[in-house]
Structure 1
Amino acid sequence: MASDLALSVGQAFVTSERRHHRSSMATQVPDGELLAGRGACAVIADSPWRNAIARQAADLAVRGFLADYFSTPLDWNVKHAATRVLRALNGWCYSQSRFVSGGSYVSAFSGLILLKDQGHLFHAGDTLVFRLRGAEFEQLTRDHVTDLGGYRYPSRALGMDASLDIDYLNLPLAQGDLFLFTTQAMRGTLSPSDYVQLISQDASDLDGACERLAARAVEMASLRGYGAEALCFQLVRIDRLGSSDASASRGVLGDGLEPPGELDVGDELDGYWVEEVLARTDRVRVYRVRDAASGERLLLKAPSPQLSERSSYLRHFVYQRDLVKRLRSPFVNRLVEFKRPPTRYYYLMRFVEGELLGDWIRGHVAAGLEQRLDIARQLTKAVGALHRREVIHQGVHPDAFIVDQHGQVVLIDFSSCCARDTGTTAAVALAREVGLSAFSAPEYALDGEVGRRSDQFSLAALIYWLLSYSDASERGMKARLGLAQGSDRGGHLPFQTPMQSLRTEMDLETLHYRPVRRLVPEVPESLDLALERALSPRRELRFRRLSELLVALRAGHDPAPRAGGAWRQVRQVRQWQLIATVLLVILLINWWLG
């Protein structure tokens, strides 16, 4: 496509029989969806020359990074994907080095990812990356070395330590930018003016430019009396920038398709007959349809026809489709591939026979604690599936889940979902546009930082509501606790103060958790304590991970030592302090009397 990123690449090695390669470099430019979502990548790695497996270490770093990076989920952003890959690769290299005699899987590493009009540079060690823009020659990396006794030792590198500290640089790209990758072996040979002159002699032949750089480096090293037997150069030029909005030339929704018009029962679209209109809002249309060819029932979701000019929401609609496409969990609804080319823009999802969670609990008021806990565990796994994809849901409430005829919970609503690194302002704006609920975390009302712990609060509030749902207890608690959104009876919330009424940080002090055991005495104390922690008005006091809440929901397991809160830990410490004091007094009395 004309909007795709286009690069030119050149390389040159200098080696000798006495000293083999200890460096490795490569550039990979995928195509199609992978190029649009992951960009192109140029990398270089260099291992210490005293390393017996230097070449293997450098090759492993380059090949391992390229293979793993281009296999990461496309809904991860570049920084998160590359960082995850580098840390995993670092852990493997570090652990395997103990099995190698006379060497290790340690190498300096620099990787530049070019996506649309942005560059993302990741660096650890002493490899070098320069940018040549016109006559401006700039070094983008800094050396991670320590000088001891006249020798330079790497202070940071891939595989050197169990943890890896990575330099990250984001830089805007321009057409014609040239990036040079090389190793520390060329230090003291070429000056910035040499680079500019030798590359500019014939910038159309990048292999030739790399050969000129290598030849001049060898010549200068010889004149200065030291060897230059392990040099490598890689040049990458941006011939054409990728579009910052890859769908701009094809319309916001892509492929030139428009949203379908209003559909009613009995209408047909691309071989799908509308059986029921499930939702018709100002943003979206949801229909239950039947495939005329196979008879299969499906959900058809399309943007509202009135939103054809509101590209911001349409882009989010595309994001929802791509998110559902990549999720793989039995607790999350899945996308259904088209069997015929669509003529309008929409997507299809599996139709789940069942009831919304709010309707299910109304019809199962007599459900026991274990059955409700089973539903709660499934709710947690559904939200956790999004968190593993670095996505926050922001809209956890009863109508976001369906319970099928077998008691299986399925997440069906993704209208508030956004990437974890979207930014608080944009995330909160999206959540408010879709609509906050009685289960929303207090930070949404106070414009605080939102993230996975915000979902944790909403999920814990929903579990509290699920466990406490009861016709019998409704009359006495309704006025004091409030009624959960989407229910007409029996749904209790853990705080008297509605989250939407909060105005300042001081208002958080008015939120006092009401133990669920007061409503449902058979709830284990450890679970009540876990819910109290997950529902802390202060985001930083909640569980670090959703899996910790899931542990508390498992029957027969007592997570009280971790979930009991700071007051419980303090009480235990004071008990032991008292015992120790008493023993000390007895010891002193025996010593004095003796």
Structure 2
Amino acid sequence: MQKQLAVRIGQCTDSGQKSMNQDFHGAGLPENYLLQQKGVVCAIADGISSSNVSHIASETAVSSFINDYFSTPESWSVKTSAERVITATNSWLFAQTQQSQGRFDKDRGYVCTLSTLVLKHDQAHLFHIGDARIYRIQGQQIEQLTTDHRISLSSQESYLSRALGVGQKVEVDYLKLQLYPEDIFLLMTDGVYEYLNQGEILAALSADQDLNQVAKCLLQKALANGSTDNLTLQILQVDALPSQAGEYFDPQYKDLPMAPALQSGDLFEDYVVKKVLHQNHRSCLYLAQDAHSQQPLVIKVPATDLQQQPNAMEQFYLEEWVAKRIQNDYVMRAYPQRSAKHYLYQTFEYIEGQSLKAWLKQQNQTVEVAKIIDIVEQVAKALNAFHRLEMLHQDIRPENIMINAASQIKLIDFGSTSVKGIAEFQPEHADLALGTLAYMAPEYFLAKPAGSCSDQYSLAVLTYYLLTQQLPYGTEVAKCTTKKQLKKLHYYPMSQYRADIPAWFEAAVQKALHSEAAQRYSALSEFIYDLKHPNPRFLKQQKIALIEKNPVLFWRNLSLVLILLIIGHLLLRYF
């Protein structure tokens, strides 16, 4: 039976000798699907004593982090989700500070520390601002994992060098650690850790009792040792780590039987089957009609043989998972279902038109550059929708782009998509290269991390192909497994196939096709802009040497010159 992450949490807070408790703490311990997707969260905050509103800041920081973190897109990584939430919380607290007496004295504003711990799959993620602390205990060893953001002026005077609500931006310390069974994490404010020693902590934890009671006992010990501040302590113990992630990352698919073979006129679930649209060894697509709304849709059913291929089935599940989460005019959407499924299938919107590959074959003449730019720009907008959700499409090619009579496109086929949030609990699939070799960026073949610039490379290959129906490096990229081999790649200029390709346009495409990811555009919008507007930097570049622009013509001309020189030499010698 597949195990899930199992933890126990104990926590306690006390105002101590002060009349007001400016600390705040909280924890989120979801179950099942959300536990796998987002993990377990603990957060602790400490207000500053000079402010009479910092308790509001502490409560806001912790509550916002826990609530908003679980509301972030499932496709986001822990790091992205947490940092976005912390940034938003800091902005709100700073705005409140600017509208209060803290505008002129930040020590009286909506200011607090924040330290959070997120456990997901077999990793611990720490986010830290201020001087609360996070410790880890392994065996009988206590390790401090965070660094205090506090500057001491003297033995009696110090101040926070970093806190929420002080400025428009805040720097967050981030640390990721491997989790192990029986790991214990402690989150403490300074009113606790300054008045406890390691022996007292280990002794309390060795007692066989509820963790809430352990936290309470430790707070009482800190008070007895002379603590004069607010006291807050959280204890989180890892009892079990999840087994290897199963093939099902979405529970709705588990145990569903395969859909039967369908024929025109069949009533399947809530849909009337019209005809088969496409069929191959992996799946069958049916055109259908919603029996209630009469709207057309596509039903996708996996091939029976796919059941014996876990990775292929995960690609199948992933497609609808992605389609449900991306709402963009240039991306195929999942068709909403009225009731629970009884079979294994997917439903998508029906897209009028044909694939870009079929469209290209139907063109009776060379397609204008402006027309290709329009298509590529639409694909870029679709890719931006993926990248905003920390997804990479990874299979950009003419077959995966639909185009209608109005030249509007839709990006389809999400089975190769990489999703950061899923990769964190399915790490064995994080680096799988599932796209089409001819369009894949070189980093895939060098086993280097892929990023949005990898989709950019594929988009540039698509641009090149739509204009020339050739590939920029031939088929050599897929053969490169070292940087040395990459440097020997030969780029074939588009101008040798088409005379109407401007040099600045060629330079923009070549930049997006650079073998090194760092040398490509930092954003897709920059690439599209340079396709539409001559970049002055490219205009100033020296003209491409003939041997680079057209090597065949170069050697032909050189041979002709050599022949003429030989003939001339012979004539002079004999006459």
TM interval, shorter chain, is 0.7 to 0.9
The 10-residue stretch of structure 1 (1-10 or 117-126) with the greater mean CA deviation from structure 2: 1-10
Q: Take 1:385 and 1:364, find their aligned partners in 2: how far apart are those partners? A: 29
Q: Does 1:194 align with 2:200?
A: yes
Q: Tell me: CA distance 1:47–1:163, structure 2 relative to 1, closer, same or farther (3 Å).
A: same
Q: Take 2:83 and 2:184, find their aligned partners in 1: how far apart are those partners? A: 24
Match of 1:170 among 172, 177, 192: 177
Q: Tell me: CA distance 1:566–1:95, structure 2 relative to 1, closer, same or farther (3 Å).
A: farther
Q: How does 1:67-466 map to 2 (within 5 A)?
A: 67-90=67-90, 93=93, 97=97, 100-103=103-106, 104-131=109-136, 137-150=142-155, 151-159=157-165, 162-172=169-179, 174=181, 178-198=184-204, 201=207, 203-204=209-210, 206=212, 208-221=213-226, 228-236=228-236, 245=245, 254-263=253-262, 269-365=268-364, 368-420=368-420, 422=423, 426=429, 429-431=432-434, 435-436=436-437, 438-466=438-466
Matched residue type, 2:171: L
* Per-residue deviation, 1:411: 0.6
Residue in structure 1 matched with residue 551 of structure 2 by the alignment: none
Q: Tell me: CA distance 1:440–1:312, structure 2 relative to 1, closer, same or farther (3 Å).
A: closer
Structure 2 counterpart SS, 1:60: helix
* Per-residue deviation, 1:505: 3.2
Matched residue type, 1:374: D
Matched residue type, 1:124: I
Structure 1 vs Structure 2 CA RMSD:
3.6
Matched residue type, 1:259: M
Residue in structure 2 matched with residue 477 of structure 1 by the alignment: none
Q: Tell me: CA distance 1:239–1:507, structure 2 relative to 1, closer, same or farther (3 Å).
A: closer
Match of 1:505 among 483, 498, 503: 483
* Per-residue deviation, 1:273: 4.3
Structure 1 counterpart SS, 2:308: coil
Matched residue type, 2:512: A
Q: Deviations over 1:247-269 (max 9, x none)?
A: 77x99874411333554556554
Residue in structure 1 matched with residue 552 of structure 2 by the alignment: none
Indicate if the aligned counterparts of 1:529 and 1:560 stay in contact, CA closer than 8 A. no
Instruction: Quote the sequence identity (%).
Output: 28
Indicate if the aligned counterparts of 2:247 and 2:314 stay in contact, CA closer than 8 A. no
The 10-residue stretch of structure 1 (109-118 or 257-266) with the greater mean CA deviation from structure 2: 257-266
Q: Take 1:17 and 1:511, find their aligned partners in 2: how far apart are those partners? A: 70
Q: Tell me: CA distance 1:243–1:253, structure 2 relative to 1, closer, same or farther (3 Å).
A: farther
Q: Tell me: CA distance 1:92–1:526, structure 2 relative to 1, closer, same or farther (3 Å).
A: farther
Q: Tell me: CA distance 1:229–1:447, structure 2 relative to 1, closer, same or farther (3 Å).
A: closer
Structure 1 counterpart SS, 2:320: helix
Q: Take 1:527 and 1:197, find their aligned partners in 2: how far apart are those partners? A: 70
* Per-residue deviation, 1:461: 1.6
Q: Tell me: CA distance 1:445–1:38, structure 2 relative to 1, closer, same or farther (3 Å).
A: closer
Matched residue type, 1:552: D
Q: Tell me: CA distance 1:285–1:4, structure 2 relative to 1, closer, same or farther (3 Å).
A: farther
Q: Take 1:292 and 1:147, find their aligned partners in 2: how far apart are those partners? A: 72
Structure 2 counterpart SS, 1:335: coil
Q: Tell me: CA distance 1:247–1:5, structure 2 relative to 1, closer, same or farther (3 Å).
A: farther
Residue in structure 1 matched with residue 518 of structure 2 by the alignment: 540
Q: Take 2:334 and 2:282, find their aligned partners in 1: how far apart are those partners? A: 20
Q: Tell me: CA distance 1:172–1:531, structure 2 relative to 1, closer, same or farther (3 Å).
A: same
Indicate if the aligned counterparts of 2:456 and 2:524 stay in contact, CA closer than 8 A. yes
Greater relative contact order (Cα 8 A, min sep 6): structure 1 or 2?
Answer: 2
Matched residue type, 2:69: Y
* Per-residue deviation, 1:94: 5.5
Q: Take 1:212 and 1:446, find their aligned partners in 2: how far apart are those partners? A: 54
* Per-residue deviation, 1:515: 4.5
Q: Tell me: CA distance 1:8–1:496, structure 2 relative to 1, closer, same or farther (3 Å).
A: closer
Structure 2 counterpart SS, 1:399: helix
Residue in structure 2 matched with residue 550 of structure 1 by the alignment: 528
The 10-residue stretch of structure 1 (133-142 or 410-419) with the greater mean CA deviation from structure 2: 133-142
Q: Take 2:159 and 2:307, find their aligned partners in 1: how far apart are those partners? A: 59
Q: Tell me: CA distance 1:428–1:364, structure 2 relative to 1, closer, same or farther (3 Å).
A: farther
Indicate if the aligned counterparts of 1:116 and 1:241 stay in contact, CA closer than 8 A. yes
Q: Tell me: CA distance 1:465–1:560, structure 2 relative to 1, closer, same or farther (3 Å).
A: farther
Residue in structure 2 matched with residue 62 of structure 1 by the alignment: 62
Q: Tell me: CA distance 1:284–1:78, structure 2 relative to 1, closer, same or farther (3 Å).
A: farther
Q: How does 1:12-51 map to 2 (within 5 A)?
A: 12-16=13-17, 20-30=20-30, 33-51=33-51
Q: Deviations over 1:117-145 (max 9, x none)?
A: 54332223321233457766554434343
Q: Normalising to structure 1: TM-score of the pair? A: 0.78
Q: Take 2:275 and 2:187, find their aligned partners in 1: how far apart are those partners? A: 59
Indicate if the aligned counterparts of 2:131 and 2:148 stay in contact, CA closer than 8 A. yes
Residue in structure 2 matched with residue 573 of structure 1 by the alignment: none
Q: Take 2:450 and 2:13, find their aligned partners in 1: how far apart are those partners? A: 48
* Per-residue deviation, 1:357: 0.8
Indicate if the aligned counterparts of 1:530 and 1:560 stay in contact, CA closer than 8 A. no
Q: Take 1:298 and 1:524, find their aligned partners in 2: how far apart are those partners? A: 42
Q: Take 2:391 and 2:475, find their aligned partners in 1: how far apart are those partners? A: 29
Q: Take 1:14 and 1:246, find their aligned partners in 2: how far apart are those partners? A: 45
Paired residue total: 531
The 10-residue stretch of structure 1 (235-244 or 367-376) with the greater mean CA deviation from structure 2: 235-244
Structure 2 counterpart SS, 1:27: strand
Matched residue type, 1:388: R
* Per-residue deviation, 1:283: 3.5
Q: Tell me: CA distance 1:159–1:531, structure 2 relative to 1, closer, same or farther (3 Å).
A: farther
Q: Deviations over 1:435-483 (max 9, x none)?
A: 42x33323344444432222111101212222x25xxxxxxxxxxxxxx
Q: Tell me: CA distance 1:182–1:201, structure 2 relative to 1, closer, same or farther (3 Å).
A: same
Q: Deviations over 1:127-177 (max 9, x none)?
A: 1233457766554434343444334444444455635141313242536x6
Structure 2 counterpart SS, 1:341: coil
Matched residue type, 1:217: A
Q: Tell me: CA distance 1:129–1:330, structure 2 relative to 1, closer, same or farther (3 Å).
A: same
